[in-house]
Chain A
């Protein structure tokens, strides 16, 4: 079992839809949870960062972590074609600053 599991998609939605991306993880020691966005032929860029459980909102993006169920979510409101990318969840928790990544979900927002 992978430490961080993510549905690879692809996920195709119409412009303006609310998108829900999800990951599960197995290591209860993880404390740091992140979402990265990766456009084609580019490196991943940090989108959202959450420490421990709870929600974090940044514009159209909301990250949620539920440590009791080991569930990580990213919600995108009013999705735009420019949101089309691969979204990677990641988790970490020890002093080595090691991040474990999910395999990524490919999102396509249709105009």
Chain B
């Protein structure tokens, strides 16, 4: 089944403790992206990647890092999480043939206390 898989689905952590949210897609998509979703603000792009080793900042990159060492994986790293990073995070991928038709993962609900 074609899908984007994120882990974990739920995470509660403390301020300052480094964490990684993994994202993997099995569709050989070249484009991958991370979004955060907050009430009233919709989906905002954090980082995106146009291919292996090619990443760039989205609209809200502060406090986040990403890497794209393999085509299928695009982990999101929070080096020192803060409470304002409490949010619902989505990884998504697409390909040129699909134009902008991103396939989304099921989401990771992160709480930073």
Which residues of A are interface residues toward B (Cβ below 8 A)?
6, 8, 32, 34, 36, 41-46, 49, 51, 88, 90, 92, 96-99, 101-104
27 pairs from A and B in contact (CB 8 Å cutoff): A6-B42, A8-B40, A32-B99, A34-B100, A34-B101, A42-B106, A42-B107, A43-B4, A43-B105, A43-B106, A43-B107, A44-B43, A44-B90, A44-B104, A49-B99, A49-B100, A51-B99, A96-B48, A96-B50, A98-B33, A99-B33, A99-B45, A99-B100, A101-B43, A101-B44, A102-B42, A103-B42
Q: Which of B75-94 contact A (CB under 8 A)?
A: 90, 92, 94
- The residue on B at minimum CB distance from A49 is B101
Q: Does B102 contact A (CB under 8 A)?
A: yes
Between A and B, how many residue pairs show CB distances below 8 Å? 59
The smallest C-beta distance from A49 to any residue of chain B, in angstroms, reads 6
How many residues on the B side are at the interface (Cβ–Cβ under 8 A)?
Answer: 26
Query: How many angstroms between the C-alpha atoms of A44 and B106 in the bound complex?
Result: 8
